[in-house]
A and B are shown apart, each in its own frame.
Chain A
């Protein structure tokens, strides 16, 4: 398990002798090894130096408890295909309550076979055992999963060596001292004496294994977030160091997402500092993805823009909530009309990552007579939210109550605006209702000489006035006379005279 956890999932077994080591008692000891290493005579518990004596070309990997845990969780997710009650037995055990699933999967043997096949895709080389109680099944599996049909549970357990219980070493040594090396031996000891001299918990464990005591287990709940952390060797503000750390975390993340068949839409990158609160940067994706390269690209774009108050000691990447992966519909022919899948969302994300959230937006018309309120910025261009384009919607209406009605509003406003032009056509509307292609965000005051507006020279009015009076009910009262004016070098401008104070303003240009 420790070996499989640190190896890449699905990688073919390395032919070189490989060991996984863990520091214990000030030295590195072998905790797991592959077949090739076993063939050279290396055994578990060996010192790393001694292991090198057996084989010079030894591949050494460091044990990662985090990786083991996540592999176990991934296996639990697989196990949930067979039964809802799965529980974890860290570091390397998995318990499945299969009684209720027997009928569905066609009996115990077939269930075992298909479960074994499913688990082997992630972690080949495990042992499986079936028993009436969870603890007995666990012990039997640790003993290698041997099966003797027809025996009683007590008889099957009785043959097992005591090490399968993984009781602490002093307990095992105590029992060994009185000549007890199997579970059967323990069961033959007087109960009250066993409880007094060895411990009540161990007697309880034996009772649980034999089904004399209830042994409830907490069901496994798949995590909704994935969490990765890289501790930096030294405090750092250097971009290459961060990029390297983020790359490693993103690779792990992508691997986890593949295992879980999941996608993420939100990432959080935190920099931990020695004396300050962590700096947290959030990354919201317009489209959920499980593509590691794309996530890495976005994160690296983000990294380039990040300013830290202090050097970072560690980086942390939290991804989630996890959503079930949605397949992307590929297109047979590329380049013919439109864009390839997701390119538009990626563009928006890239631009936002570097220029900031607010610097990139879409446009929509709005139903108001006041020119400055007859438009609105939308979070993303409306086309990204349109349905029926053969792609899943970016944000479900239920998930995104803030923006979804807005998009709806924009669409009705667009309809209304089409009707607007229709209205003008129907009653032969003249050119005074013309609107400029450029609108100033705020009306720019114009200098006026003898009541005539100036902009580098006198402005000549050629159309107007068009009076707009509106907004008395919401505090944004305007009363304006709009004119189309020609500037000194011939440019067409949209100016108005405020009816309240008689001053002139420039509000747009006919670009």
Chain B
């Protein structure tokens, strides 16, 4: 091959999908999604997630990535910032999915929408955050671009949850996903991906959540569970978590040998 051709295939030449490998990604924890996104969540870039109605698994999509970040051993672990979440991120559920709730910083929904943008930008730019999840209503192109630049600079994951109507808007986001439910499974439409084509896939997020809970519990310490089960008779469905709580307490006080 001539030297001229070599020079042509240098880093400046755009070569379709192969050209986008420079972006840093984090595995999503779902093989199908990883394939569709070209490796995982783009990190250090804006990801927009459009949800028609909350409760279709939009947060579960991010849980494996947050769990992987939680598991990493760092001297100064960064925050997971939740900016203006619509409801309370529920700690027991987060813990079951392996997320370190001690790293979560919740910023309640401010009265004004531009405060949400401000808080999001602060969280990204501070360098104190490992991931920022923000529930943004309206944001224009310029504001999103600014967030995009901050995220790039800090290498921080930035997920914006936006109402579906914002889909029509132009956006500099590296990835835009639409999440909905279809026949008991979560449907993820990749609306836009840098260096990739739009596509759709279905994920079984609801049973995935319980699977991870089970696999996590297998890794957990057994004596607590056994202790709990033996010290209390199991009565119908009266909150089994109670048993484990008692078990844990027993272990602490040394009653359980």
Q: Decide yes or no whether A508 CB sits under 8 A from chain B.
A: yes
Q: Mark A328-368, 1 if CB is under 8 A from B, else 0.
A: 00000001011111011011101100110011111111010
B217/A347 in contact, CB under 8 A: no
Q: How far is the CB of A483 from chain B (nearest CB, A)?
A: 11
**CA distance in complex: A337, B74 (Å):** 6
Residues of B with C-beta under 8 A to A427: 225, 229, 234, 240, 243
A339/B128 in contact, CB under 8 A: yes
Q: How far is the CB of B156 from chain A (nearest CB, A)?
A: 10
Q: Decide yes or no whether A415 CB sits under 8 A from chain B.
A: yes
Selected from A340, A354, A362, A437, the residue in CB contact (under 8 A) with B90 is A437
Residues of A with C-beta under 8 A to B207: 431
Residues of B with C-beta under 8 A to A417: 91-92, 95
Residues of A with C-beta under 8 A to B204: none
Chain A contacts with B in 391-440, Cβ cutoff 8 A: 391, 410, 412, 414-427, 429, 431-440
A511/B102 in contact, CB under 8 A: no
- Known: A338-B78, A375-B88, A466-B239. Is A510-B206 also a contact (CB below 8 A)? yes
- Known: A339-B76, A363-B104, A426-B225. Is A416-B118 also a contact (CB below 8 A)? no
**What number of A-B contacts does a CB cutoff of 8 Å give?**
293
Q: Decide yes or no whether B13 CB sits under 8 A from chain A.
A: no
B240/A383 in contact, CB under 8 A: no
A421/B220 in contact, CB under 8 A: yes
Selected from A339, A358, A367, A511, the residue in CB contact (under 8 A) with B245 is A367
Q: Decide yes or no whether A39 CB sits under 8 A from chain B.
A: no
Residues of A with C-beta under 8 A to B79: 344, 347, 381, 383
Residues of A with C-beta under 8 A to B247: 419, 423
Residues of B with C-beta under 8 A to A381: 79, 102-105
Which residue from chain A places its CB closest to the CB of B181 in the assembled complex? A490
Residues of A with C-beta under 8 A to B93: 434-437
B122/A510 in contact, CB under 8 A: no
- Known: A347-B122, A389-B75, A492-B57. Is A424-B239 also a contact (CB below 8 A)? no
Residues of B with C-beta under 8 A to A490: 56, 180-182, 184
Residues of A with C-beta under 8 A to B58: 511
Residues of B with C-beta under 8 A to A389: 75-76
A424/B101 in contact, CB under 8 A: no
Selected from B59, B85, B100, B210, the residue in CB contact (under 8 A) with A383 is B100
Q: How far is the CB of B51 from chain A (nearest CB, A)?
A: 9
Which residue from chain B places its CB closest to the CB of A438 in the assembled complex? B87
**CA distance in complex: A362, B89 (Å):** 10
**CA distance in complex: A355, B107 (Å):** 9
Q: Decide yes or no whether B5 CB sits under 8 A from chain A.
A: no
B119/A355 in contact, CB under 8 A: yes
Which residue from chain A places its CB closest to the CB of B252 in the assembled complex? A412
Selected from A340, A341, A347, A441, the residue in CB contact (under 8 A) with B88 is A441
B100/A440 in contact, CB under 8 A: no
Q: Mark B215-247, 1 if CB is under 8 A from A, else 0.
A: 011101110111011000010111111111101
- Known: A381-B79, A439-B87. Is A420-B122 also a contact (CB below 8 A)? no
**CA distance in complex: A165, B110 (Å):** 65
A493/B115 in contact, CB under 8 A: no
B237/A511 in contact, CB under 8 A: no
Which residue from chain B places its CB closest to the CB of A426 in the assembled complex? B225
Residues of B with C-beta under 8 A to A469: 238-239
Q: Decide yes or no whether B77 CB sits under 8 A from chain A.
A: yes
Residues of A with C-beta under 8 A to B19: none
Chain B residues with a Cβ under 8 A of chain A:
52-60, 63, 72, 74-79, 81, 85-97, 100-108, 110, 115, 118-119, 122-123, 126-130, 155, 180-182, 184, 206-207, 209-210, 213-214, 216-218, 220-222, 224-226, 228-229, 234, 236-245, 247-249, 251-252
| Cβ-closest 5 pairs across A and B | A423-B244, A425-B217, A490-B181, A426-B225, A382-B102
